[in-house]
Amino acid sequence: MTSVQPRLGGLPGSQGEHRLQEEYGSAGRARRFYDDQVLDHLNPRMREFVARQELVFVATADGRGECDSSLRAGPPGFVRVLDDRRVAYPEYRGNGVHASLGNISENAHVGLLFVDFVRDIIGLHVNGGAGIVDDDALRRSVPDLPEETVPGRRAAHWVVVDVEEAYIHCAKHIPRMVPVARGREWGTDNPRRKGGDFFGAKEGRQEKDEQHSGPPGGEEGRAAGRPHA
């Protein structure tokens, strides 16, 4: 875990946002938002909100600042509120890339965005230091952590977030959605169940490789039109 670094002038946020607030004339509005809405912990309403969410957007960056965003989803309450300053979300079996965990291993900060598209139509940002914890280790420190029985939804690792900032994401641009029952293949390696080549990346790469692969045997072979292996 990382320690919380002192903020410029005691304000939340980055030096860049403070500079642009002055440049764009929004410093007064921003200060009111900081004073009214930004906490360094989760209050009771925030804890209740997190405890019933089924998805969260996860933002990370590597040691060079290259960013990545991802989505984590599960049953209601899959993100566990450990106390008013810590939450933990499970890492289920995925594609094996570990992009988010890899970034956290280099740059131990994370930005979480919970959005309720169905009931309250509101969002909650939770930013803070992050650490990767094995499932066994977390269960030793959190004895009441539920045992997951659904295959593919058993976490090998958790990301534990030390809350540094928690604040509202306003409702005005959040669409209302209606949930529809859907079977999910948790942890599957079946390409079709995972979405297959929906965006044509593999197909396009194969076509490009074929275009750049001429017949073997040099110019003479190509001229003869012999098929390549």
Q: Are residues 14 and 77 in the same domain?
A: no
Please determine, for residue 224, whether its predicted confidence score (pLDDT) is greater than 50.
no
DSSP code for 8:
G
pLDDT digits (tens, 9 = 90+) for 35-67: 999 999 999 999 999 999 999 999 999 999 999
Rounded distance between C-alpha atoms, residue 109 and residue 50, angstroms: 19
Rounded distance between C-alpha atoms, residue 149 and residue 152, angstroms: 9
Q: What is 9-49 written as a DSSP string? A: GG-SS-HHHHHHHHHHT-HHHHHHHHHHH-BSS--HHHHHH
Does residue 188 lie in a domain region?
no
Amino acid 24: pLDDT: 97
Q: Are residues 65 and 79 in the same domain?
A: yes
The domain tally of the chain equals 3
Q: Are residues 3 and 43 in the same domain?
A: no
Q: Are residues 62 and 43 in the same domain?
A: yes
pLDDT digits (tens, 9 = 90+) for 82-101: 999 999 999 998 888 999 99
Q: Are residues 34 and 121 in the same domain?
A: no
pTM, to two decimals? 0.83
pLDDT digits (tens, 9 = 90+) for 202-219: 887 777 777 777 655 555
Please determine, for residue 189, whether its predicted confidence score (pLDDT) is greater than 50.
yes
Does residue 7 lie in a domain region?
yes
Q: Are residues 43 and 26 in the same domain?
A: no
Confidence of residue 173 (pLDDT cuts 50, 70, 90): very high
Q: Are residues 138 and 119 in the same domain?
A: yes
Rounded distance between C-alpha atoms, residue 186 and residue 166, angstroms: 30
Rounded distance between C-alpha atoms, residue 35 and residue 61, angstroms: 27
Q: Are residues 71 and 153 in the same domain?
A: yes
CATH number at residue 43: 2.30.110.10
Q: Are residues 111 and 144 in the same domain?
A: yes
Does residue 157 lie in a domain region?
yes
Does residue 181 lie in a domain region?
no
In the numeric block, which tokens belong to residue 73? Answer: 């989803």
Whether the CB-CB separation of 55 and 75 falls below 8 Å is answered with no
| Host domain of residue 16 | 1-38
Does residue 191 lie in a domain region?
no
Please determine, for residue 150, whether its predicted confidence score (pLDDT) is greater than 70.
yes
Q: Are residues 74 and 34 in the same domain?
A: no
Rounded distance between C-alpha atoms, residue 185 and residue 196, angstroms: 13
% the chain with pLDDT above 70: 88
Q: Are residues 225 and 134 in the same domain?
A: no
* Lowest mean pLDDT across 73-77, 96-100, 176-180, 198-202: 198-202
